[in-house]
Amino acid sequence: MFSQTTFSLLRNLDRNNDKAWFDAHRDEIRVHVQEPFEATLDAVEDRLAGSALPLKGGKQTLFRMNRDIRFSNDKRPYNAHVSGVLTASGAKDDPNGLV
């Protein structure tokens, strides 16, 4: 699912963390970073189906790569990683909390 391109894009984003670079590579980031991570969450959900801990995740539980910089000393606009959650309901705002 992940490739050398995935990690190369994330390293380059860390070095060039600005809107111009991100916009120029947005499609590559979607294809090589976000979609493989979404597939990973889907695969984990499939593995957990029918288990004692049937968590759900996927596209709907991915977090944005944009950072909230309003109250941060670090003003880089993008996370140089991709993240998401698995929850019992498959929603980020699961009332039972995140796992």
Cα–Cα dist 87/99, whole Å:
6
- pLDDT tens track for 15-60: 999 999 999 999 999 999 999 999 999 999 999 999 998 999 999 9
pLDDT band with cut points at 50, 70 and 90 for residue 95: confident
Total structural domains within the chain: 1
Cα–Cα dist 78/65, whole Å:
5
> What pTM was estimated for this model as a whole?
0.86
Cα–Cα dist 94/49, whole Å:
18
Answer for the pair 87, 56: CB distance below 8 angstroms, yes or no: yes
Residue 54: domain span: 1-99
